[in-house]
Each structure stands twice: as C-alpha cells, then as structure tokens.
Amino acid sequence: MDLKIEPSRVLDSIVKDEVTVVLPTLNEGMGVLSVIEELRENGYDRILVVDGYSEDSTVERAYENGVNVLYQHGIGKAGAVKTAVERVNTPFIIFMDADHTYDPKDIWRLLLHSEHYSHVIGTRDRKFIPRVHRFGNWVISQVFSVLFGVKVRDVCSGMYLLETEEAKKYRLEETGFNVEIELAAQSASRENLTEVPIDYRPRIGQKKLSTWNGFSILRAAFSLARRYNPILLYSSLTGLSIVPAALVLGWVGLDVVTKKVWHSGWAVVGIMFLLIAAQAFTLASVSILTKHSEMRLMEEIRSSRQQPESTV
C-alpha cells in the first residue's frame, strides 16, 4: 500500500510546538537515533524518551542529540505511557515506538482529526507484520470491536495520538503491552476513538512482542469490557443463558405434562441458567441507565463549552 501523500494545508493551523512525541524505549539504541533525526526533519522538536532502564546505548544516544529523557515508573510499556501522560503538558501527545517501524511523516494524519477525537490510532500497513502477529492482531481487533461497539482494525498499534488533558483522566491499571487496548477501551466508551491509515516498516533491533502477549491482550479486552462497556457484555450473557434455560425447562415441563416424569436434576440446571440470565439482565439494565445518564451529562458539558461567552 502506497501512503506517500503530502500533508494537507489544513495543518497550517496546527502548531507543532503543541505536540510532544513520546518514544517509550527499552534497549532501542540501534533505532532511536534514526527516529529522532526523522522527527526533526518533519518539524517535531518536542521529543521525549521515556526509558525502561535500558542496558545499551539508548539513553546516551538520546542525550547526545539533545532529547529529554525520563526514567519510567511501573513495569513494561504501560509504565512508560503512564509516566509520559503524567509529565507531558503540551495539548497533544504522539506515542511512537523507537524501533523505526513507524514513519514520522504520518503524524499529520493523526493531527488532522485531533479537533474531534481525543484518541486517534494509526492503523498499520500489514506488509511487514509477521503472519502470526497479523492474524493475532486481527482476532484481537475483531473481539475489541464487538465488545465495545466500534470498528477498529488495529487496536494494538504502537503509534497513536492522545489529547493530553483527556488522557490524564484515564485510569491505567494494565501492564505491559495491554496499555494500548486499555487506552482504546476508555476512549471507545467515551466515543472519542477513531483511526487513520499509516505506513509500517521493518523494525531495527530485536523484537520484544511475543506470540503469547496476544493471549494476555485478549484477556484484558474482556476484563476491560466488563469495566467500561458492561451493557454489551451483560446483554450477551443474558442471551447466551436464556436459550439453554428455555430449552431445558421446556423439556422438563413437557415431560411432566406428557409422561408424568419429573427431572429434578435437569430442572435445577435450567433454573441456574435462568438465574444467570436474570442477573445479567438486571446488570445490563442498570448499565444502560448509567450510560444514558453519563451521555446526557457529557452532552450538557459539551454544549456549555460551545456556548459563546457573553460580552459586556
């Protein structure tokens, strides 16, 4: 896929000094220098390296090129992201991996939509993504889309934009590479998530993401759905429970009427399914009421912000 498109003139109104590009690093000495050089060539001078205590030349290369470096707290990439969100004060943050896989020339695509969305994901060209990871990413993105009622094709992408003030309100509790899906879950629940296509290149240096990380990310998706989009989760549980309950109890009742036979064990099973469905339905109903209240409150806040200030 050829993504060699020149930036729109719309970006003339966006000041690049309002953007901090954050590079989470751990032993990225082989690629970090070229990423820094490309960022400056594209006009992005506010660069922050958040390091996870590298044992190679990563920090030295960043310092030598005049880039600010912070040592993260917390474990893994999630710790780096949380550290950056806490410390950055510019209106926008762009996160990029420091392994040369992402091209700074695509940042303008994310910025174009920063006025209407607080979280913009860069959806990667899949040409240089290994087949196993490509399939795993597709599965995770499909599951995420169903659980959160949005269409996202690359929820695990390592290049994305966040509105800083909005990101500071997010709760970051996951660890490692789960941080991207946790951010996306909270943005989707606030209807502030979108995506744009970006280029993707072969990495420089040793890869850190293993196939087993995919299972952890998938588990996190279900856990986050319970926390941030319980309506769909509990509604699905209601549907999955009511069907076997109706089948089992219907069969038990039919045998009682036609054969005068009482299946007490199966009746208990049917009642258990029925109770699960009832509890899930109750939780879904409460979640719907809570969500509607939250949406009304958000609409009132947005409308109050859009009203022009009175002049004297």
d(CA 131, CA 137): 10
What would the pLDDT profile of 32-82 be if each residue is shown by its tens digit?
Answer: 999 999 999 999 999 999 999 999 999 999 999 999 999 999 989 999 999
Q: Is the pLDDT of residue 203 over 50?
A: yes
d(CA 144, CA 221): 6
Q: Is the pLDDT of residue 9 over 70?
A: no
What's the mean pLDDT when you consider all of the chain?
A: 85
Measured CA to CA in angstroms, residue 213 lies from 73, 136, 171, 175, 305 at distances of 21, 10, 21, 11, 41
d(CA 243, CA 182): 32
**Vertex 123: Cα angle to 121 and 127 (nearest 5):** 155
Q: Where are the alpha helices (DSSP H) in 14-120?
A: 32-41, 58-64, 76-87, 107-111
What would the pLDDT profile of 153-175 be if each residue is shown by its tens digit?
Answer: 999 999 999 999 999 999 999 98
Q: Is the pLDDT of residue 13 over 50?
A: no
Question: Residues of the chain with pLDDT > 90: what percent?
Answer: 53
Q: Which residues, in sequence order, are CB contacts of 31 under 8 Å at separation 6+?
A: 98, 99, 100, 203, 204, 205
User: Helix or strand or coil: residue 68?
Assistant: strand
pLDDT at 310: 41
Q: pLDDT-derived band of residue 278, with 50, 70 and 90 as boundaries? A: confident
- 157 CB burial (10 A radius; 0-12, 13-18, 19+): buried
Q: Is the pLDDT of residue 311 over 50?
A: no
Q: Which residues, in sequence order, are CB contacts of 133 under 8 Å at separation 6+?
A: 209, 211, 214
Mean pLDDT of 283-311: 58
Of 65, 80, 75, which Cα lies nearest the Cα of 23? 80
Of 149, 124, 148, which Cα lies nearest the Cα of 137? 124
Mean pLDDT of 137-164: 93
Pairing of strands 47-51, 19-25: parallel
pTM beyond 0.85: the answer is no
- Do 24 and 148 meet the contact criterion of CB atoms below 8 Å apart? no
* Tokens found for residue 36: 């820094």
pLDDT at 279: 76
* 116-125, 126-135, 207-216, 266-275 — most confident range: 116-125
Q: Is the dihedral of CA 238, 243, 248, 252 positive or negative?
A: positive
Mean pLDDT of 250-276: 87
